[in-house]
Amino acid sequence: MIERLVPEGVARAEAFDDVLPRLPDPRELALLRGRPERVVRQFAAARACAHRCLDALGAPPGPLLRTADGGPAWPAGVVGSVTHCAGYRGAVAARAEVWAALGVDAEPALPLPPGVLGLVASGRERRMVARLTAERPGIPWDRLLFSAKEAVYKAWHPATRRWIGTRAVEVTFTAGGLLTAAVRPDRTPPPGARHRWREGSPASGVTGTWESGGVAARYSGRWCAEDGLLVTAVAVPATAPHPEPPAGVRGPGPRWAARLSA
């Protein structure tokens, strides 16, 4: 699936089970000490995909640990993204001089729980979801929207070290498999107004510094729905403008919350 979603020059790997091509690095497994075996196996399989990407790029061997924010600590000069959900593990990586940022996300092809779409989507996005659902009812467009926002955030956060809310990412789909997104940080609500709509949601973040109403970054990518899975990916060329992190700004980890499918 993933090979249809990322451009040339981006290494990609995916797996649909937890069969490992090699034993995981114990330093990576130590990141999940005490977690359930199911979580550890998914994590190890996703990390194995990431290592396949790094091998394809000729990166030196070594563990793929975590940054202080909780995301994968890619080797110097490499950007990438990792995802896993029930039935799918995947990763993408590229040389930073070619691609400035990457984001990939996988979700089960199931509708969002009742009431969640209203928390994560703008009015325009809800209308888009309703229209696309009428045109192609076999795709859970609400969950696909959430997946696209996750993919964008995975590209945004490592580059900016800045937390944003789901409504700060405005997504547009085409029925043919393309997506575009604009990040508007001013749409992130203040900490006291945020909805903790699922377990693990961050309770605080950094308020805006960009001009109110402005678009801080734009993304383009692709999506696919196949075999009970939804996968979205975005890629930012190194020549494209991308926001720099404000001085001294650090936010929570690279995901909005624990997976809906957990």
Structure-model confidence comparison of residues 161 and 84, the more confident one: 84
**Per the confidence metrics, is the pTM higher than 0.85?**
no
pLDDT at 243: 64
pLDDT at 204 over 80: no
The phi, psi pair for 168, rounded to 5°, reads -75, -15
Summarize pLDDT for 9-50 with one digit per residue, the tens. Answer: 899 999 999 888 877 889 998 998 999 999 999 999 999 999
Residue 185 per-residue DSSP state: G
Structure-model confidence comparison of residues 62 and 252, the more confident one: 62
The CATH label, of 3.30.160, 1.10.3470, 3.90.470, 3.40.50, for the domain at 2-102 is 3.90.470
Summarize pLDDT for 227-246 with one digit per residue, the tens. Answer: 999 999 999 999 866 665 54
Going by DSSP bridges, is the β-strand pair 88-95/78-85 parallel, antiparallel, or unpaired?
Answer: antiparallel
Q: Where in the chain are all domains bearing CATH 3.90.470?
A: 2-102
